[in-house]
Each structure stands twice: as C-alpha cells, then as structure tokens.
Amino acid sequence: MAAHRRSIDAFIRSVRRLSTLCGFVAAALIGAGVVVVCEMVFVRYALNRNTIWQTDFVTYCLVAATFIGSPFVLLTRGHVNVDVLPHYAGPLSRRWLALFASVLTIAFCVVIAVLTFMFWKEAWDNKWVSDTMWRARLWIPYASMPIGLGLLTLQSIADLMALLTGREAPFGITVERVP
C-alpha cells in the first residue's frame, strides 16, 4: 500500500517537474519572440531592409509557447474556468463536478494530441514547407502541438490522480466561501 502511494507521489511529482520545465521553455519562447520583434523593427525601419524569416519565426515561437506552456498553466490553475457552481456547490457535488471537468479535460487532451500527432506526421512524411519566403519546414513548428498536448495530457492525468487520492481538493477549494 505504502509502495503504491509512493509510486503515485513519484508520478505526480515527476509530471509537475516536467510541466514546470514546460513553463520555462514557453517563457523563453515568448522572450525570444520579443527580442526577434525588436530586431525585425530595427532591420525594417532603421536599416530599411526587407525581413524574411522574422514574422514566421515569431509566430511559430508564440504558437509553440502556447502548446508547450499549456501544461504549466494547467499546473498553476491558470486556465480560466467558470467556477460559480463549484464555489456554491456542496463538497460532494463539487467533487463530482471536478471529476467531470477532469475527465473531460483528459478526453479532449488525448484526442487532440493524437490528431495533432497525425497532422505533424503528415507534414513530416510529405516534407511540407511554409508558403512564405522563408520556406520553413513545417514539421518543426507543428511538433510543438503533439509534444505540448501530450504533456498536457500527462498533467491532466496527474491532476485527476491527485483529486481521486485526496491529495488535491476539488478545484483547489479547501474552505467554504462565505457569501
């Protein structure tokens, strides 16, 4: 029993570390986006030269930051939800609501992770390139989708396990709201 508990703890801890790492990567991608936008503005307006790769690069950075940063945002409860019912529901109903929300999240994450993986595979197999001047190989930006959404699936499974085993309160609500 204790070994079982420890393995669950280890799984949740590992996934959380992975999600935190995702947060650092996403933050770095956004930071890189800001730097490249500044470089692009300088090249375009100060040097009066054409820019080729910058627009695509910044867009890909932001798309990648969104998918890869998503597990971190789920970990830190940053994905907004409508928490009226959970707040006003009793403890038992709140638990059922949390289970429903959690299962729905996992179902979506699994389906979209598989679909985006197939999309990425298509880009890889057919050697797709962007229709812009840069002609970027599209499997690179597309890879952020299955990677980020796969890790998001892991984080949502870890959240469900934490909820089922009582490690986390439903929706993180530990005290009753006083109206």
Partner 1 sequence: MSPATQGALVLLVTLIVLLSGAPVAFGLGAISIAFVVLFQGFDALHVVAETFYAGLNDFTLVSIPMFVMMGAAIGSSPAGKDLYEALDRWLYRLPGGLVISNLGACALFAALTGSSPACCAAIGKMGIPEMRSRGYPDDIATGSICAGGTLGILIPPSITFILYGIATETSIGRLFLAGVVPGAMLTALFMLWTLFIIWKRGFRVHAADFRYTWKEKFGSIPKVAPFLAIVIGVMYVLYGGIATPSEAAGVGAALCVVMAMVIYRMWRPRQWWKILRDTTRESVMILMIIAAAVLFGYMLTSLYLTQTLAQGIADMHVNRWVLMAMINLFLLVCGFFIPPAAIILMTAPILYPIIKAAGFDPVWFGVILTINMEIGLIHPPVGLNIYIVSAIAPDVPVARIMWGTIPYVLCMMLQIVLLCIFPEIATWLPDHLMGAVH
- For the segment 35-94, give every residue that binds partner 1 (CB under 8 A): 35, 37-38, 40-41, 44-45, 55, 58-59, 62-63, 65-66, 69-70, 72-74, 76, 78-88
R_g (Cα) of the chain, nearest Å: 20
Q: Is residue 154 exposed (0-12), middle (13-18) or buried (19+ Cβ within 10 Å)?
A: buried
Apex CA 67: angle with CA 64 and CA 68, to 5°?
75
In the complex, minimum distance from the CB of residue 174 to partner 1, in angstroms, rounded to a whole number? 15
| Cβ distance to partner 1 smaller for residue 12 or 171 | 171
- Distance CA(85)–CA(99), nearest Å, equals 14
- Distance CA(122)–CA(125), nearest Å, equals 5
Chain positions contacting partner 1, by CB under 8 A = 23, 26-27, 30-31, 33-35, 37-38, 40-41, 44-45, 55, 58-59, 62-63, 65-66, 69-70, 72-74, 76, 78-88, 97-98, 100-101, 104-105, 107-109, 111-112, 115-116, 118-119, 142, 145, 171, 178-179
